[in-house]
Copies of this chain bind each other. A is one copy, B any other.
């Protein structure tokens, strides 16, 4: 049974920022923002795929198929894997719909516009339910995260035709999918 971690924050030699360091062995656990990959997957009739979360945080709320990028994956591969794991869906990616920075929690979310490569979807182990929603049916009060609102808004603005430049996170005005002024 290992003891509790005793990592402390200090500036390693040759660095300029505090890093999480083990005082026993000198290991530096660099903390960097993590990449989340996900997709707005639309059926041919324009309905979009949402997953009701089986796990914390925000269990019971609806989200896009998305999750942390793993080592050795491209963002496209990660987005396809997450659609399979969370919604048992085989998807084809059109391109990058949005790049959202959630600086407060150290996340960069790369969200694709996608469609079904094969028919069929079903809840994976991390989903209670998977469902297609027409725009008017989307349960806005039961959406898990602000970035899901933003991504759906960006998708709505670019649902058909060529994809425009990636949307970025709003600047706090609450407008989904817009590029922050002064960017």
A residues adjacent to B (C-beta < 8 A): 2-7, 17, 22-27, 29, 31-35, 68-77, 92-96, 99, 101, 103-104, 106, 108, 110, 162-166, 168-169, 179-180, 183
**Within 8 Å CB of A162, what residues of B?**
164-165
Chain B residue nearest in CB terms to A93? B183
The 8 Å CB contact of A17, one of B6, B23, B70, B96, is B70
- State the copy count for this chain: 2
**Within 8 Å CB of A29, what residues of B?**
27, 29
20 extra interface residue pairs, beta carbon distance < 8 Å, beyond A95-B179, A108-B110:
A2-B26, A5-B22, A31-B71, A32-B34, A32-B69, A33-B69, A69-B108, A71-B106, A72-B106, A73-B103, A74-B101, A74-B168, A75-B101, A75-B168, A92-B183, A93-B183, A94-B165, A99-B99, A164-B164, A165-B166
**Within 8 Å CB of A96, what residues of B?**
96, 99, 165-166, 168
**Within 8 Å CB of A106, what residues of B?**
71-72
The 8 Å CB contact of A26, one of B3, B71, B179, is B3
Chain B residue nearest in CB terms to A68? B32
Given contacts A2-B24, A31-B71, contact A183 B76 (CB under 8 A): yes
Taking the closest CB of chain B, its distance from the CB of A72, in whole angstroms, is 5
Q: A180–B6 Cα gap in the complex (Å)?
A: 45
Q: Is the CB of A166 within 8 A of B95?
A: yes
The 8 Å CB contact of A103, one of B5, B22, B72, B103, is B72
